[in-house]
Amino acid sequence: MRLFRPFIPSLAMMLLASSGAGAQGILIDKSEIRFLSRQMGANVEGRFRKWKANVDFRPKDLAHSRAEFTIDLSSIDLASEESETEIKRPRWFDTGKFPVATFQSTTMRDLGGDRYEIAGTLTLKGTSRDETIPVEVKKDAAGNSVATGEFTIKRLEFKIGDGQWADPTVVADEVVVRVRMVLPRAA
Amino acid sequence: MTQTRYTRTAVALHWLSALLIFCGFSLGLFMTGLEFSPAKFRYYAWHKWLGITVFIVAALRLAWRAGHPAPIPLATTPAWQVRASHLSHALLYGLMLAIPLSGWVYSSATGVSVVYLGLVPLPDLIPKDRENAKVLLLVHQTLNFTLAIVVVTHVVAALKRHFIDRDTVLARMLPVLRTRPGS
């Protein structure tokens, strides 16, 4: 979380700057970006240790809401140190050339109830694709808003794990990304 | 008569265990040194499937043995050898159950679930934890080297009985060689 220290002041500034109704940052220590891949038919869960978010979610003003994420790809938490070293190489993330993945929301829709849909652009290893993330927002005991969303990407569309690794029977093409964001109660 | 040799089922399961253990053990030694590759992923999966099969076969053997006792030791066997063989058989069964379990727990600790034959997902026994995984790998390896020592003892003892003592201890566990000519 050290990476975020420099980010906290800017987050505070953002909160100050947007003191309008419903403006929020996120509680990064309580939030997480995890993913699930399948290797030889077995689920393998991982997560990113370092990422930044700029979330301004206003349920009553979705047009002015936004969600932006910057994920440090080298901070990946996988099954082993060996696979963490490997995934940074050119065949996979190529973190030397593409250190981060980003998501930038374009539109948000209210689906009724606690459900929303966030459309945006995911940029990963130089490839940008439009993704739509269904999100559910609930209040936790402390009154914070907890947004959970899940969407599936196809790693081969982003040329992640190509060449000999392209075989989806060893590592499945589909990777399920699970996002959990905790937004502090609006002051 | 039934007490002088193992049942056909027991003999078949014994040699199936031997084959599975030999393949699983060799694959385990071989795969860990490979460079990161799809082949390595496959071998790890196969290794896990072999291990789970070893566990299943060992459990079947114990169940079968409960209803079909092993032949009584030959009258010519010294008492210490009877005790030693009981101990080594108990160790072999214990390790055939413990080693696959240790591999399964280790697998859970690494965050990679075991899906038997790519079809049957087994539950994770403990949560993912890298420090635990390191310890569990060491446990898995130590149990395996212990097994290797017990298996070598088991094989040497059987060969000694067959070729030096020239008795029927090995023959009663062989599918074809029923009795030695002249014995």
- Is A40 close to B115, i.e. CB distance below 8 A? yes
Using the beta-carbon criterion (under 8 Å), do A42 and B42 form an inter-chain contact?
no
**Is residue A167 less than 8 Å (CB to CB) from chain B?**
yes
Model confidence at B43, pLDDT cuts 50, 70, 90, reads very high
The answer, yes or no, to whether residue A88 has pLDDT greater than 60, is yes
B128 contact residues in A (CB cutoff 8 A): 45, 79
In the predicted structure, residue B5 carries a pLDDT above the cut 90: no
Looking at the predicted structure, is the pLDDT value of residue A5 above 90?
no
Residue B29 has pLDDT above 90, yes or no: yes
Shortest Cα distance, chain A CAs vs residue B114, angstroms = 6
Helix (H, G, I), strand (E, B) or coil at A72: strand
Cβ A40–B41 below 8 Å, yes or no?
yes
User: Closest Cα partner for A126 from A161, A153, A154, A98?
Assistant: A98
- Rounded Cα distance, A176 and A152, in Å: 4
Report the C-alpha gap between A40 and A38 in whole angstroms.
6
Q: Is the pLDDT of residue A19 over 50?
A: no
Task: Mark yes or no for CB contact B111/A45 under 8 Å.
Answer: yes
Closest CA to B9 of B175, B178, B183, B144: B175
Contact indicator for A151, A133 with CB cutoff of 8 Å: yes
Nearest-CA distance A167 → chain B (Å): 8
Percent of chain A whose predicted confidence (pLDDT) is above 70: 86
Specify whether the CB–CB gap between A54 and A24 falls below 8 A: no
Task: With beta carbons less than 8 A apart as the criterion, state whether A122 and A179 touch.
Answer: no
Query: How do residues B112-158 score in pLDDT, each as one tens digit?
Result: 999 999 999 999 999 999 999 999 999 999 999 999 999 999 999 99
Is residue A10 classed as helix, strand or coil in its secondary structure?
A: helix
Stretch A126-141: mean pLDDT, rounded? 94
Q: Which residues of B touch A81 (CB under 8 A)?
A: 130
Q: What confidence score (pLDDT) does residue B3 get?
A: 63
Residue whose structure tokens are 């727990």: B105
| A79:B44 CB<8 A | no
Which parts of chain B fold into alpha helices (H)?
8-32, 38-67, 79-110, 130-163
CA distance A82 to chain B (A): 8
Mean pLDDT of A140-146: 90
Is the pLDDT at B83 greater than 50? The verdict is yes
In this model, does residue A11 exceed pLDDT 80?
Answer: no
Q: Which residues contact A101 (CB under 8 A, 6 or more apart)?
A: A69, A70, A71, A73, A122, A123, A124, A125
Q: Mind listing the pLDDT tens digit for each residue in A91-122?
A: 999 999 999 999 999 999 999 999 999 999 99
Question: A34-45 b/e with 16+ CB inside 10 Å = b?
Answer: ebbbbbbbbbbb
> Mutate which of A40, A49, A85 to disrupt the B interface (most B C-beta within 10 Å)?
A40
User: pLDDT-derived band of residue A79, with 50, 70 and 90 as boundaries?
Assistant: confident
Higher pLDDT, A9 or B64: B64
Q: Comparing C-alpha atoms, which of B147, B177, B151 is closest to residue B163?
A: B177
Q: Do A41 and B37 touch (CB under 8 A)?
A: no
| Binary contact (A42, B113; C-beta < 8 A) | yes
